[in-house]
């Protein structure tokens, strides 16, 4: 290690840069630790330097250190003083760290140390560290030691012109990269030129000057820029903020101070209902939100197949060396080439079958089931993996066969046999056979309505567990769960100011709202001391320039150039379709679509509608207790408008079927069975929407069925639709008034089966 250090830094004359870097980093860590102790008002820490009551910022000490060390380095520049150079470089590093730590204060000419603008200081420190590290390892920017060094050796006019043109091109690329909003790429690209080429070619950031100049009339590029910003840039920024705040403390929060004479704890921001609540943990919620974005991001159909094909090409080339090491006499290379050709032909045939099967499944799903099922089929891993495995096997087998055909040595009696590659091709063939069986099973599940309903219901179960992760309890909530209340108006007749945030940017992946980062909104609302109302619901199509948020109150802690829209719009995820895997509402809607099409005159399949009601009943039974738990213990106390009530879910699951079930006694009995089962299993606070729909079914039965027998049958509750004459509802009941012509035996059979 010492030999490497001597050879790398001492012998090359870069030891002063090493001392500068070490002093810079240690000073920055120390001063950040000091200000965090001062902010926390730790009693044993000295505190600020305030002679005569005037607070002297540490940027002043940094300027003094920089002036002294800079003057010393200039004076000793012509002398051979390695020790003095290292000492002065260390002093210069100390001064630079003290100055850059308050870079934001100097930039804004006001104390923004703990405000959002204070992040500029940490960014400046990171930039300084990056530049010093590059110089430490001998990487110089353009125009130093490389281009200029060659110019010193060649004084011809051609060399001067060529060097000038090259430097102009590099600086032009750097300017374009910076105009595209890629500051780090432009900075590091001054040292590593290929980064400038990449930064100048790739898309601009959406808010950069280049995008404002060039993408205004090109919505396609702007949409791709927004998508790239959401997918790559925002996760990196959040990770950078986590690293920054782990070192320097949290920005953007008001500094809490407690007078020495008062022993009360610091105030905590109040919530909408008057209670106190802390914002959710930033790191945990950021990880969960990133996981949600990955899950909802549509995966292109071509990505996985092309990735596997690329790996197959690389493997076919890389295994050529392994084949040379393993040769066995008595194996004919021509026979292996024929075998590989057969495998390649079979794989391309299977690929065609896969496309046919996927097309058939999607067509059936669109016409017979629901359009919401199509994205589920397109995103299914089995179908995408099947295409990829078949194509990869085809390309691999074809590549090995081609190597056998053109790889024979001149004058050789027989062609060498690639045993390793052939064995891998056989393994891929077996995997392809397994994938084909899985694909057939998947398509069979789609074409089988009951299995498709089960699949949609399973996605709905998972969506419920994600949306309502709290464990259901038997305790009654103190208030009925009627949705999130709007925040109360301020006392004294004052009306809180309302800021309406509209959807200004066109979402890259669609206009349907799929997810909302409630934890981040709660954290922002707590920081700004406001309340936020979410106007669209999950699954709504949000047109351009439509309102999406209402911020009630005057936001505090925002810079003059900032607006709540800049951060709030980053909490929304949009897509093309509201899928069952996204939310419980989408799962209920998809199953209702199946039942509605089954009840249409073109299909007329009431049995399928009964199967759909079975799964709707199951999902509602899972939802009911979780809604009570979520309403009773919600942590998002500063947000309104995001919750759906129990009545909303009941309406989504039953009203459309209730409208379409006219003329089908079987579906009416099953729907009545769903409602009565929910009444039996839900507390009284959740009964009103259920009893209203039962009353509507009673009124419909009285007018729709003319025969007393039909009215009696339609008024029964049956979990099978027509599983028995009297139905199978458990518990005491009173016979329906329309049963005036029943025999005593029939009346006895109906006891316990009809609604009072």
Per residue in 429-445, pLDDT (tens digit) is 888 888 888 877 777 77
* pLDDT value of residue 473: 55
* pLDDT value of residue 90: 92
Angle at Cα 242 formed by Cα 42 and Cα 290, nearest 5°? 145
Write the DSSP assignment of 591-606 as a string of letters: HHHHHHHHTSTTT--H
Question: How far is 151 from 142, CA to CA, in rounded Å?
Answer: 13
Tokens of 135: 């110089």
Who has greater pLDDT, 669 or 320?
669
* pLDDT value of residue 629: 66
* pLDDT value of residue 378: 65
Question: How far is 450 from 58, CA to CA, in rounded Å?
Answer: 72
Q: What is the mean pLDDT of residues 94-107?
A: 88
Question: How far is 566 from 480, CA to CA, in rounded Å?
Answer: 35
Q: Say how far residue 24 (Cα) sits from the centre of its chain.
A: 37
Given a contact cutoff of 8 angstroms between Cβ atoms, the answer to whether 629 and 470 are in contact is: yes
Q: In 3-state terms, what secondary structure has residue 300?
A: coil
In DSSP terms, 500 is beta-bridged to: 550
Among 22-26, 361-365, 743-747, the range with the most confident prediction by mean pLDDT is 22-26
Given a contact cutoff of 8 angstroms between Cβ atoms, the answer to whether 312 and 392 are in contact is: yes
Q: How much is the CA Rg of the chain, to the nearest whole Å?
A: 35
Task: Label each residue of 146-193 as H, E or C.
Answer: CHHHHHHHCCCHHHHHHHHHHHHHHHHHHHHHHHCCCHHHHHHHCCCH
* pLDDT value of residue 475: 46
Stretch (H or E) spanning 535: none
CB atoms within 10 A of CB 668: 27
Among 570, 587, 577, 569, smallest CA distance to 511 is for 577
Q: In 3-state terms, what secondary structure has residue 502?
A: strand
The answer, yes or no, to whether residue 746 has pLDDT greater than 60, is no
* pLDDT value of residue 501: 84
Question: How far is 33 from 358, CA to CA, in rounded Å?
Answer: 60
* pLDDT value of residue 506: 63
Tokens of 743: 């025999």
The answer, yes or no, to whether residue 493 has pLDDT greater than 60, is no
* pLDDT value of residue 512: 83
Question: How far is 162 from 243, CA to CA, in rounded Å?
Answer: 43
Query: Who's near 689: CB < 8 A, 6+ residues apart?
Result: 646, 647, 650, 651
Q: What is the mean pLDDT of residues 188-196?
A: 79
Question: How far is 22 from 126, CA to CA, in rounded Å?
Answer: 14
Among 454, 428, 198, 448, smallest CA distance to 319 is for 428
Question: How far is 661 from 616, CA to CA, in rounded Å?
Answer: 15
Question: How far is 180 from 173, CA to CA, in rounded Å?
Answer: 11
Q: What is the mean pLDDT of residues 342-359?
A: 78
366 pLDDT tier (thresholds 50, 70, 90): low
Note the pLDDT tens digit of each residue in 195-220.
888 888 888 877 788 877 777 667 66
The answer, yes or no, to whether residue 26 has pLDDT greater than 90, is yes
Note the pLDDT tens digit of each residue in 520-549.
888 888 888 888 888 888 888 888 778 888
Question: How far is 720 from 727, CA to CA, in rounded Å?
Answer: 8
185 pLDDT tier (thresholds 50, 70, 90): confident
Question: How far is 607 from 667, CA to CA, in rounded Å?
Answer: 8
Any idea what DSSP says for residue 513?
A: E
- Tell me how far CA of residue 326 lies from CA of 316, 320, 321, 422, 423, in angstroms: 15, 10, 9, 12, 12
The answer, yes or no, to whether residue 272 has pLDDT greater than 70, is no
Tokens of 451: 């299995």
Q: In 3-state terms, what secondary structure has residue 458?
A: helix
The answer, yes or no, to whether residue 245 has pLDDT greater than 50, is yes
Q: What is the mean pLDDT of residues 51-76?
A: 86
Q: What is the mean pLDDT of residues 253-272?
A: 37
Question: How far is 160 from 367, CA to CA, in rounded Å?
Answer: 71
Question: How far is 755 from 691, CA to CA, in rounded Å?
Answer: 10
Write the DSSP assignment of 701-748 as a string of letters: HHHH--SHHHHHHHTB--TTSSSSSS----S-----TT-TT--HHHHH
413 pLDDT tier (thresholds 50, 70, 90): very low
Q: Which of 98-102, 371-375, 576-580, 710-714 is least confident?
A: 371-375
Query: Who's near 319: CB < 8 A, 6+ residues apart?
Result: 400, 418, 420, 421, 424
* pLDDT value of residue 333: 62
Q: What is the mean pLDDT of residues 676-700?
A: 89
* pLDDT value of residue 627: 82
Any idea what DSSP says for residue 264?
A: P
Please say whether the dihedral angle defined by the alpha carbons of residues 121, 127, 129 and 132, taken in this order, is positive or negative.
negative
The answer, yes or no, to whether residue 35 has pLDDT greater than 50, is yes
Note the pLDDT tens digit of each residue in 294-333.
777 766 777 788 888 888 888 887 776 666 655 555 566 6
Note the pLDDT tens digit of each residue in 111-138.
777 776 777 788 888 888 888 888 888 7
Q: What is the mean pLDDT of residues 167-178?
A: 83
Question: How far is 436 from 382, CA to CA, in rounded Å?
Answer: 9
559 pLDDT tier (thresholds 50, 70, 90): low
Q: What is the mean pLDDT of residues 280-303?
A: 70
* pLDDT value of residue 170: 80
The answer, yes or no, to whether residue 395 has pLDDT greater than 70, is yes
Query: Who's near 149: CB < 8 A, 6+ residues apart?
Result: none
Among 453, 381, 378, 377, smallest CA distance to 608 is for 453
The counts of H helices and E strands in the chain are 29, 6
Residue with structure tokens 């909302």? 516
- Tell me how far CA of residue 725 lies from CA of 488, 606, 671, 711, in angstroms: 53, 17, 16, 12
The answer, yes or no, to whether residue 677 has pLDDT greater than 80, is yes
Given a contact cutoff of 8 angstroms between Cβ atoms, the answer to whether 459 and 587 are in contact is: yes
Q: What is the mean pLDDT of residues 53-76?
A: 87
Who has greater pLDDT, 155 or 343?
343
* pLDDT value of residue 577: 73
Q: In 3-state terms, what secondary structure has residue 235?
A: helix
Q: Say how far residue 587 (Cα) sits from the centre of its chain.
A: 20
Among 426-440, 473-487, 497-511, the range with the most confident prediction by mean pLDDT is 426-440
Q: At what angle do helices 665-681 and 688-704 cross, to 10 degrees?
A: 160
* pLDDT value of residue 226: 74
Among 289-303, 466-480, 669-683, the range with the most confident prediction by mean pLDDT is 669-683
Question: How far is 16 from 22, CA to CA, in rounded Å?
Answer: 10
- pLDDT above 70 covers what percent of the chain? 74
Given a contact cutoff of 8 angstroms between Cβ atoms, the answer to whether 616 and 455 are in contact is: no
Q: What is the mean pLDDT of residues 585-593?
A: 87
Tokens of 704: 């729709």
* pLDDT value of residue 157: 73
Question: How far is 162 from 145, CA to CA, in rounded Å?
Answer: 16
263 pLDDT tier (thresholds 50, 70, 90): very low
Note the pLDDT tens digit of each residue in 222-232.
777 777 777 77
Please say whether the dihedral angle defined by the alpha carbons of residues 193, 194, 200 and 205, taken in this order, is positive or negative.
negative
Note the pLDDT tens digit of each residue in 614-667.
999 999 998 888 887 665 555 677 888 777 888 899 999 998 888 888 778 888
* pLDDT value of residue 91: 92
Among 260-274, 288-302, 472-486, the range with the most confident prediction by mean pLDDT is 288-302
717 pLDDT tier (thresholds 50, 70, 90): confident
Average pLDDT of the residues of the chain: 75
Residue with structure tokens 């003057």? 71
Query: Who's near 323: CB < 8 A, 6+ residues apart?
Result: 416, 418, 419, 420, 421
Question: How far is 273 from 116, CA to CA, in rounded Å?
Answer: 28
């Amino acid at each position: 290690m010492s030999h490497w250090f001597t050879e790398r830094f001492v012998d090359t004359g870069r030891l002063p840069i090493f001392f500068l870097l070490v002093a810079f980093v240690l000073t920055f860590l120390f001063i950040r630790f000091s200000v965090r102790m001062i902010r926390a008002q730790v009693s044993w820490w000295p505190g600020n330097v305030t002679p005569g009551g005037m607070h002297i910022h540490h940027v002043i000490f940094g300027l003094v250190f920089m002036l002294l060390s800079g003057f010393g380095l200039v004076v000793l520049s012509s002398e051979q003083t390695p020790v003095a150079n290292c000492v002065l470089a260390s002093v210069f590093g100390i001064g630079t760290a003290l100055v850059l730590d308050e870079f934001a204060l100097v930039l804004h000419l006001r104390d923004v140390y703990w405000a959002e603008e204070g992040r500029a200081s940490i960014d400046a420190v990171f930039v300084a560290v990056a530049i010093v590290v590059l110089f430490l390892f001998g990487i110089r920017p353009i125009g130093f030691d490389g281009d200029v060094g060659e110019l010193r050796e060649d004084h011809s006019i051609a060399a001067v012109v060529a060097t000038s043109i090259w430097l102009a091109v590099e600086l032009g690329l750097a300017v374009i990269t910076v105009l595209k909003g890629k500051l780090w790429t432009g900075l590091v690209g001054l040292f590593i030129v290929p980064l400038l080429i990449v930064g100048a070619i790739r898309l601009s950031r959406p808010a950069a000057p280049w995008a404002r100049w060039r993408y205004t009339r090109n919505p396609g590029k702007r949409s791709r820029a927004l998508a790239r910003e959401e997918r790559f840039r925002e996760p990196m920024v959040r990770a950078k903020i986590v690293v920054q705040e782990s070192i320097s403390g949290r920005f953007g929060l008001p500094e809490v101070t407690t007078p020495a004479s008062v022993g009360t704890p610091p105030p905590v921001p109040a919530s909408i209902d008057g209670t106190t609540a802390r914002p959710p943990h930033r790191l945990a919620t950021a990880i969960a939100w990133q996981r949600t974005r990955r899950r909802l991001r549509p995966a292109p159909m071509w990505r996985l197949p092309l990735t596997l094909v690329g790996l197959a090409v690389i493997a076919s080339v890389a295994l050529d060396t392994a084949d040379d090491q393993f040769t066995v006499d008595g194996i004919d290379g021509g026979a292996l080439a024929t075998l590989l050709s057969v495998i390649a032909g079979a794989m391309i045939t299977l690929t065609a079958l896969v496309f046919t099967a996927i097309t058939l499944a999607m067509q059936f799903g669109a016409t017979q089931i629901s359009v919401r099922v199509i994205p589920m089929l397109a995103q299914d891993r089995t179908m995408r993996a099947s295409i990829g495995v078949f194509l990869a096997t085809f390309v691999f087998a074809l590549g090995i066969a081609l190597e056998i055909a053109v790889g024979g040595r001149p004058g050789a009696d027989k062609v060498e046999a690639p045993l390793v590659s052939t064995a891998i091709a056989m393994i891929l063939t077996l995997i392809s056979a397994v994938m084909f069986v899985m694909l057939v099973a998947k398509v069979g599940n789609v074409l089988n309505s009951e299995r498709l309903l089960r699949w949609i219901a399973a996605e709905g179960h998972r969506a419920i567990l994600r949306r309502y992760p709290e464990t259901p309890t038997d305790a009654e909530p103190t208030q009925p769960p009627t949705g999130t209340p709007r925040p109360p108006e301020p006392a004294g007749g004052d009306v809180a100011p309302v800021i309406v945030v509209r959807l200004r940017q066109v979402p890259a992946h669609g206009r349907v709202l799929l997810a909302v980062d409630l934890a981040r909104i709660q954290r922002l609302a707590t920081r700004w001391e406001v309340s936020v109302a979410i106007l669209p619901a999950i699954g709504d199509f949000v047109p351009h320039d439509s309102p999406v948020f209402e911020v009630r109150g005057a936001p505090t802690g925002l810079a003059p150039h900032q607006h709540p829209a800049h951060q709030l719009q980053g909490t929304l995820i949009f897509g093309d379709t509201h899928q069952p895997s996204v939310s419980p509402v989408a799962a209920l809607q998809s199953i209702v679509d199946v039942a509605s099409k089954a009840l249409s005159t073109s299909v007329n399949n009431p049995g399928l509608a009964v199967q759909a009601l079975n799964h709707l009943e199951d999902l509602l039974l899972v939802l009911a207790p979780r809604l009570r738990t979520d309403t009773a213990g919600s942590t998002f106390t500063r947000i309104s408008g995001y919750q759906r009530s129990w009545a909303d879910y009941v309406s989504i699951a039953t009203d459309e079927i209730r409208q379409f079930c006219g003329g089908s006694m079987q579906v009416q009995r099953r729907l009545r069975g769903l409602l009565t089962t929910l009444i039996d299993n839900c507390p009284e606070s959740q009964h009103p929407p259920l009893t209203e729909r039962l009353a509507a079914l009673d009124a419909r039965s009285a007018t729709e069925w003319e025969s007393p027998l039909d009215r009696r049958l339609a008024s029964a509750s049956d979990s099978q639709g027509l599983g028995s004459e009297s139905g199978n509802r458990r518990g005491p009941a009173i016979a329906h008034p329309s049963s005036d012509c029943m025999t005593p035996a029939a009346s006895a059979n109906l006891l316990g089966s009809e609604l009072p």
